């Protein structure tokens, strides 16, 4: 009998809904701050990779800067200065486009 004085019963109905609201807000914040920008960046990266053309200067994920000489499906041939060495890299290894020297 003594323990029953300290036990409070929660009213049913709206209290269970109010307990879920903070969790839903946290998921919403994570979606808008983390997942949505990552999806946009991934779409931009895929668009850039799909639009690669000969003559463009690219930077690979390994830091190699080269000019695209040939494109064959998912393999790119890059010409790397100063000795004009040609290397093959996958299309997915290109991280960004670089400004060409003549356009600076």
Give residue 34's domain range.
Answer: 12-48
Domain count, the chain: 2
Are 51 and 59 a contacting pair, CB within 8 Å? Answer: no
Does the residue 2 lie in any domain?
no
CA angle 62, 68, 71 (to 5 degrees): 105
Give the tokens for residue 56: 């463009």
pLDDT in tens, 29-72: 988 899 999 999 999 999 999 999 999 999 999 999 999 999 99
Are 96 and 59 a contacting pair, CB within 8 Å? Answer: yes
Q: Give the residues across from 97 on adjacent strands.
A: 58
| CA pair distance 40, 55, nearest whole angstrom | 27
Does the residue 97 lie in any domain?
yes
pTM score, whole prediction: 0.66
- Clarify whether residues 70 and 89 are in a common domain: yes
């Amino acid at each position: 009998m003594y323990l029953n004085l300290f036990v409070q019963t929660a009213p049913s109905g709206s209290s269970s809904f109010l307990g879920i609201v903070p969790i839903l807000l946290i998921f919403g914040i994570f979606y808008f701050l983390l997942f949505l920008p990552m999806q946009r960046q991934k779409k931009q990266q895929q668009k850039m990779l799909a639009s690669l053309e000969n003559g463009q200067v690219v930077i690979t994920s390994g830091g190699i800067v080269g000019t695209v000489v040939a494109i064959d499906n998912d393999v790119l041939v890059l010409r790397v200065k100063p000795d004009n060495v040609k290397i093959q890299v996958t299309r997915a290894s290109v991280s960004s486009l670089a400004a060409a020297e003549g356009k600076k």
